[in-house]
A and B are shown apart, each in its own frame.
Chain A
Amino acid sequence: MIKLDFEHRQAGHCESGVTSNMLHYHHYEISEPMVFGIGAGLFFSYLPFLKMQHAPTTSFRVWPGMVFERATKELGVKSMVHRFKNPKDSMSKLNEVLDKGFPVGLQVGTFHLPFFPPEYRMHYNMHNLVVYGYDDKTYYISDTLMDRLVEISYDDLVRVRYAKGTFAPSGRMYYPTFVPKEIDLKPAIIRGIRKTANNMVGIPFPLVGAKGIRFLSKSMRKWEKKLGPEKASYYLGQVLRMEEEVGTAGAGFRFIYGAFLDESADVLKQDWLKEVAMEMGENANKWREFSYMGSRNCKKRAKPDQSYDFLADMLLDCADREEKIFRRLTKIK
C-alpha cells in the first residue's frame, strides 16, 4: 500500500490542473492558467462532420495530451509518457511508478467513472486525473473537477483507462520525473503565446481559429430552416454544452487564458499585455452572455426569445474580438 502526500486542488481545466498539481507535488509552484497558457491550450474548432451525441462537435481547446507535453517541454521539466496495449501491463507499470513516489496523471473516459457527477457520464475520453496511491484493490484519485478526494476500484480503473471511441485513452499515463531548480518562465510564455496566436489566426483553414467561429456563426443561421426548431435547438445546445460543461470548457478557457495573460504581463513586465488580458476577459464575458442567451432558447424551443441570427451575430462579435486580440499577440517579443 502507498499513499503519497498529494495536495488536491480543484481546477477549471482538467489537464492544466493535473499538470499544475503534479508540479506542486515536486515543489514547483505554477498556477493553472500559467500551465494552460504555456501549453498553448486555447483553441477553437468546429467539426460538423464529426458527430458527438448526435450533433456536430465544437472544440474550444487543443487535442488532449498537448498541454502537459508542451508545458513540461517548455519548462525544461523531464517527464515520461506511456501507452500500453495490454491493460495488465499498464496497471503494473502504474503501481511501479507510484511505489517510486511519483503521482501519475491518467487520461480516462468518463462514462464508467463511478465517482463522476451522474449528469456528466457520457462517452468523453479526454478527461484527466491524478492517481496518488493504491491499496490492495483500491486506487486513490485526485480529480480536479471534484470538490473532494475520491477512490476507484482496480476493475473500474482498467475500464476507464481502456474506454473506447473517439480519442480512446488506451492506457495513457504521464508524470514529471525531474524538475529543474531554476526555471525561466519568460521564453516559455512567449513561445506559448506565439503558438496560440498562430493557432487562432495563422492557420489557413476555415474550420479552426477565429475563422472557425465565423463558420459556425454562418451555419447557425441556417439551422432552423434546415433542421427544424427541435433539432436546431439541440444543435445549439450541443455547442453550449461543449462551451460550458466538463472542465469549464469554452468560455471558461477564455477566462483562464485572460488570467494567464494578466499573470504574464507581470512576469514579462510588458504593460500592453495587461490591456490584452482585459480585452480577453471582456471577450470571455461575451461568450458567457452568448451561452446564457442560447440556453434560454433551448428552454423555450417552440418560441425562442432570440433568433438564431441574433446569436450568430453575437458569435461574429466574439470572432472579431478574438481576431483582434490574437493579431496583437502575434507581435509579442
Chain B
Amino acid sequence: MNKLSTKKLTAKDFATDQEVRWCPGCGDYAILKAVQKTLAELEATPENTVFVSGIGCSSRFPYYMETYGFHTIHGRAPAFATGVKLANPDLDVWMVTGDGDGLSIGGNHMLHVLRRNVDIQILLFNNEIYGLTKGQYSPTSRPGTRSPSSPTGSIEPSLNPCAFALGAGARFIARTVDTDQKRMPSILARAQQHKGASFVEIFQNCIVFNDKVFADFTEKAVAKNRQLHVEDGKPMTFGPDAEFGVRRIPGGMALEAVNMEEAGISEGDLLVHDEKDHLLATMLVNKSGVDGFPIVLGIVYCDPMPSYDSQVSKQVADAQETSPNADMKELLFAGATWSVT
C-alpha cells in the first residue's frame, strides 16, 4: 500500500485473492469479515499489520488477510508473534489460534505470552473440537463429548479459556460470539488499541464436527436471556427488556443473576462493571454459564501495564545511550590485552 495514498481502505482491501477454504457455514467466515471491517475502521496500514497463526482451521486465517502473514507450526504462534514484535515493535501483530492450538499443544506458550504481556492481539477461536484433524475432543470440550477419540464420551474436565488467561496474568480479556457482527468489531478495536497482550475468546461454531454446541446461548430465541454483555461503568443487565441483573448474593461475595422485579430491586442495586477489577473479572469468567448464570461477553477485564516488547526496547535503547561509542573494535579489545612484538 502506498503510504501517500489518501484513499481510505475498506474491508475488501484487507481481503486477499486466495480462495477461502473453510467449510461452508463455518463461523470463521464471520470472524474474518469482522476483522477486515475492524482494520478498515481503524485505518490500519496493511504493510504494518502482521497476522501470525499456528496450525488448525482457524490458523489458515493469515492467508485471507491482505497484510503480512505467517502460518507457523502447531501451538507456537505466540512465540513467533513475540519474535516479530521484538524485531520490530512498530508492527501491529495479530495472532489467530484455536482451542487445540492455543490451549493444548500451545498452552505453555499462551501462558507465557500473556504473562509477559507482549503487545499483540490474540484471537482464540473456541469451537470446543479439533476440526482440521476431523473431530476429536479438545481441552475445551465439555465432559461427555463423543468424538472419534472418545467414542464413549470424553472424561476430561474442560478448560475455561478466559479463566486461564486471567490466571496467566493477562491484562485484557474479552469474549464474543462469531455471529455477533454488531459487537465484535468494537471489541476487536479495543483489543488492538490496548498496549499489551489482548486476549479475545470467540465462540465459533464448527458446523461439521460440533454444530450448535453454543446454540443454548446463541440461538436468537434465547440469546437475550442467556447473554450478559458487560460494559465498563454500566450496571450488569440482560434480558429482552433488561429485566435481569447481576448482584452479589446478599451478605456474601458470590454473584447471582436475578429478575429485578422478582427480587424487588432496581438497576441501582446491581453490580456496575469495572474493567479494572480483577476480582470481579475472575468471578465473572468463572460464573459464566454456571447454574443458570448467563454467558459473560464483552470486555471483561482491561487494566494495562507496560508491555514486554516496550521494556525490551527500552533496555536496549538505554544501553545504547549509556555506551554511545559501542563498536565492534571496542568489544573485541574489551578486558585485559597484551601486545606481542
Bind each other: no
Q: B-contacting residues of A (Cβ < 8 Å)? A: none
